[in-house]
Structure 1
C-alpha cells in the first residue's frame, strides 16, 4: 500500500490561477476513467430493465425466424436474423446516448452557471456567511511546477443552520489511494469545526460507491437518499451523508 503523502502534498486555499486545472480535474472525475460515475452508469445501462427487455425479445424473434421462416435457414433469413440481433445493441446505444446527454447537461449546470464557473467568488470566505465557505487544493510539485492533485469545497448552509456541505471532492488518477482525499476532507472538516459548525453534510450517487467507503471510514454516516432522474434508469440514488463534528 502506498504511503500517504503528508510530506509531499501541500493543502492550501484555492487561488484564481488554479481555476483551469481544478475545472478539468472535477470534470474528469465525473466523466472519465473506468471508475468515474459516468462510465459506471454507461456500463450499467446494458442491464437496465428498459434495455434488457430487448434481449429475450430479439432471441425469441430470431428463433421463430430461423425455424419457420421461408423453408429454413437461407441467406435472406440469416440477414434478417442479424438485423434482429442488432436491435438490442442499437436500443441500448440509444438509451446510453440519452443517459450521456443527461450527464453532460448536469456537468454544464455547475461548470457554466454553477460553482465551478467562478470558484473564487462562490466559495469566497468574505461572502457574508461568517467565512464558512472555502475551497482547497492539494498541490504536488512536478518538474518544478505546481500540479493540482486534488480539490474539495465547503459550501455554507443556510445562515444559522449549523452545518455546511462538502462538495467537489476530486483527486487526480495519478494520486488516488494515496491519502490525498483524506487530507482534503480533514482540512474541510477542521475548518468547519473551527467555525463552530455542528455538522458537515455531503451527497454522493449510487455510482460513487468507492467514495462512500472513504466517507464512512472518516466518520460520515448515511442519513437518507432520494431517487435521481432520469426516471427510466432504475436504482440511481442520491445518498445524503453527514459527519457530526
Structure 2
C-alpha cells in the first residue's frame, strides 16, 4: 500500500465502502463500525458468547450449547451411574453403613457434574473477558479500515482489516446494533490473507439472513482490497455457523480437539479462496 495514504479510523466515511448497500435487509442496514457503537458491540458479543443471544447457535450462546453437550459426555455418565447407585443404596432397606455410602455416592455425583459445568463456564467466560480486553477494547483502532505500511505505526501491520455492524432501524429512526463481524489481518503473517472474527447476531434477530449479509459485505470488501484468501475458526458448539459457511463455499482445512476429556468437540479451521 502507498505510504502516502492517510490512515483513517473505522467508520470515518471511507469512499471504498460507498458501494456497500445502506440497507440490505428490510429494517436492517449493514454499515461500518463507528466509535459510538462500542458499548453495544461489546454487550452483543458478551451476550452472544457467554449469556445467550447468538445467531450462529440454535438455542443461545456457546456457553449454553457447551453445557447442554456435557449431558451426553462420557465424563458425565460416571456421575449418573454414581447417583443411581446412591439412590439404590438409600432405598433398599439400608443399614446405617448403606445410608452413608448412598448419600456419599449421590453427593459425589452432584459435585462431579457441578465441577465440569463450572469448569466449562469459567473457560468460556475467561475467553470472553480476554477478548473484551483485546481487540474489542477499542474496535475502531484495532480494526481500522485503512492501514499504512507495516512498521510505520504500532497499530498498523500493513494488512487489510475492517469491522461492520448490522443496525436495526426502529419506527422513529433510532438504531440498535443486532449483529457484527470483523476482518483481522493481525493474526496472519501473509497479508494477502485476513481472518474473519466476532460474527455475532442477537437471538431475537437470527434466521433473518443478517449473518449472511454481514459475510457478503465482508467478502466483497476483501475482494475489493485484493485479498487472496479468508480464514476463520469456529467450534463444534456452533453447528449452524459451520453449515452457513459451507453453503457459502468455505472449506474445512483443519480440525483440532478442544479437550482430551470431552468427546467429539473440536475447533474447526476453515478457509475461503477469493
TM-score range, shorter chain: 0.7 to 0.9
Give the C-alpha shift of residue 127 in structure 1: 3.6
**Structure 2 matches for 1:44-123, cutoff 5 A?**
44-60=69-85, 62-63=87-88, 67=92, 72-73=93-94, 81-82=102-103, 84-112=105-133, 114-123=134-143
Q: Is the 8 A contact 2:169 2:176 kept in 1?
A: yes
Once residues 171 and 100 of structure 1 are traced to their aligned partners in structure 2, the CA distance between those partners, rounded to angstroms, is 21
Structure 2 portions without partners, runs of 5+: 1-22, 53-58, 149-156
**Structure 2 matches for 1:106-145, cutoff 5 A?**
106-112=127-133, 114-128=134-148, 129-130=157-158, 132-142=160-170, 143-145=172-174
**Structure 2 matches for 1:215-226, cutoff 5 A?**
215-226=245-256
**Structure 2 matches for 1:1-245, cutoff 5 A?**
6-33=25-52, 34-60=59-85, 62-63=87-88, 67=92, 72-73=93-94, 81-82=102-103, 84-112=105-133, 114-128=134-148, 129-130=157-158, 132-142=160-170, 143-156=172-185, 158=188, 160-229=190-259, 231-245=260-274
1:59-95 deviations in Å (ceiling 9; x for gaps): 345545655xxxx347995686355334322310111
Q: Is the 8 A contact 1:222 1:239 kept in 2?
A: yes
1:103-145 deviations in Å (ceiling 9; x for gaps): 1111111112x11111111101234355610000111112431
**What TM-score results when the alignment is normalised by the length of structure 2?**
0.77
Give the 4+ runs in structure 1 shifted more than 6 A.
none
Structure 1 portions without partners, runs of 5+: none
1:29-87 deviations in Å (ceiling 9; x for gaps): 111233321101112223322222122244345545655xxxx3479956863553343
Q: How many residues align?
A: 236
**What TM-score results when the alignment is normalised by the length of structure 1?**
0.86
Task: Give the aligned CA root-mean-square deviation in angstroms.
Answer: 2.5
SS in structure 2 at match of 1:31: helix
Q: Is the 8 A contact 1:42 1:99 kept in 2?
A: yes
